[in-house]
Amino acid sequence: MIQTGLFQDVAPKSSSDIDIDISVVIPFLNEAETLEQLHTEITSVLSSLKKTYEIILVNDGSTDIGSDVAESIAEKDSKVVLISFRRNFGKAAALSAGFQIASGKIVITMDADLQDNPKEIPHFLEAIENGADLVSGWKQVRNDPLDKTLPSKVFNLITSRTLGISIHDINCGFKAYRHETLQHLHLYGELHRFTPALLSASGFEVTEIKVEHRPRAFGKSKYGWNRFIKGLLDLMTVLLQTRYGARPLHFFALIGLPLFILGFCSVMYLISLWFLGMGPIGNRPLLQIGILLIVTGVQFLGTGLIAELVRGARITEKDKYAVKVVHRSKE
């Protein structure tokens, strides 16, 4: 049965509910020309693996006939599940919706534009079997125009340096997750691109493999420099979450404390000159600058303290770690 509507936020399935091997989650927006071929290719690969599987299509508010094509595929193939949004909510929402109902021990995400080759799926599974918790694709050779590849390369470089994670292509939507990692992902905005950083910060094993990137056969890319700007803003969010999520005062103090100290030293210097009788200080620009620095620094520190109070009311110690396994004595 196919249900359309706004997806409700519920927790991903627990390990006890997992009953199939592989779930493939595919968000799509106006990709009517590619869905049938993509379904055929994925089905061919997964069937050859001799594993149970499901394909979850998430219609992120398509305005073409893609919704009809996807519905037809789901009606013909019982292994296909279709989720349809009432409007476009974005890729993070689409992935979250797919994750909520995914029943596979391993969850694979890929784009619907046919540029991700389903033949790479066995390589992702092999990396998971070798111990990885998340495997990210690396489109080393890209078949995209310069206005898409250039901002992506710059963004990947900035992201890897800022977050300290050795992933060459964090933008790649072709990824594989162990099911238990989904419990630690809370996606919104554009944060779906940062799942390697988010999971790495929780102690999960993150790796990447080189994947084939096929030329786009239909339509045009929906991304460009505007996505680059959004990505930089979300990078700041991820930096706060991964490094300062449990101690926001430390982040604000990095900015506020130096400003306060610099302003305080400036004002004390002028006060010293006044006590030494070296003239009035009320008309000196340095006094105004010093006071401004002190006020700004206090505001940053005050914001950090308020953030600590808000965070402290919501976070508990169990929110700060991820347990890999618990060993108990058999006696």
Query: Would you state the pLDDT for residue 105?
Result: 95
- pLDDT of residue 226 exceeding 90, the answer is no
What is the separation of C-alpha 173 from the centre of its chain, rounded to a whole number of angstroms? Answer: 10
Report whether 294 contacts 260 (CB < 8 A). Answer: yes
- pLDDT of residue 6 exceeding 60, the answer is no
Rounded CA-CA distance 74/162 in Å is 42
Rounded CA-CA distance 174/177 in Å is 10
Rounded CA-CA distance 276/280 in Å is 11
Other CB atoms within 10 Å distance of the CB of residue 89: 18
Other CB atoms within 10 Å distance of the CB of residue 167: 21
Report whether 213 contacts 115 (CB < 8 A). Answer: yes
| Pairing assessment for the beta strands 104-109 and 80-84 based on DSSP bridges | unpaired
Fold of 3-244: Spore Coat Polysaccharide Biosynthesis Protein SpsA; Chain A (3.90.550)
Query: Would you state the pLDDT for residue 284?
Result: 87
- pLDDT of residue 299 exceeding 70, the answer is yes
- pLDDT of residue 249 exceeding 60, the answer is yes
Question: How do residues 179-218 score in pLDDT, each as one tens digit?
Answer: 999 988 888 777 888 899 889 888 899 999 999 988 887 7
Query: Would you state the pLDDT for residue 46?
Result: 95
* Three-state SS at 331: coil
- Strand ranges in 88-159 using DSSP code E only, listed in sequence order: 104-109, 134-138
Pick the closest to residue 182 from 297, 322, 87 (CA basis): 322
pLDDT band at 7 (very low <50, low <70, confident <90, very high): very low
Query: Would you state the pLDDT for residue 241?
Result: 75
User: Looking at this protein, which amino acid is placed at residue 258?
Assistant: P
Length of the chain measured in residues: 331
What does the pLDDT average to over 1-13? 44
Report whether 66 contacts 35 (CB < 8 A). Answer: yes
Query: Would you state the pLDDT for residue 9?
Result: 41
Question: How do residues 127-144 score in pLDDT, each as one tens digit?
Answer: 999 999 999 999 888 766
Instruction: List the strands of the sheet with 206-210, edge to edge.
Output: 3-4, 80-84, 53-59, 20-28, 104-109, 175-178, 134-138, 206-210
Domains of the chain, by residue range, sit at 3-244, 248-319
Give, for 18, the enclosing helix (H) or strand (E): none
Question: How do residues 76-120 score in pLDDT, each as one tens digit?
Answer: 999 999 999 999 988 889 999 999 999 999 999 999 999 999 999
- pLDDT of residue 255 exceeding 80, the answer is yes
> For residues 252 and 124, which has the higher predicted lDDT (pLDDT)?
124
Q: Report CA torsion sign: 143, 149, 152, 157.
A: positive
- pLDDT of residue 150 exceeding 80, the answer is no
pLDDT band at 275 (very low <50, low <70, confident <90, very high): confident
Other CB atoms within 10 Å distance of the CB of residue 76: 9
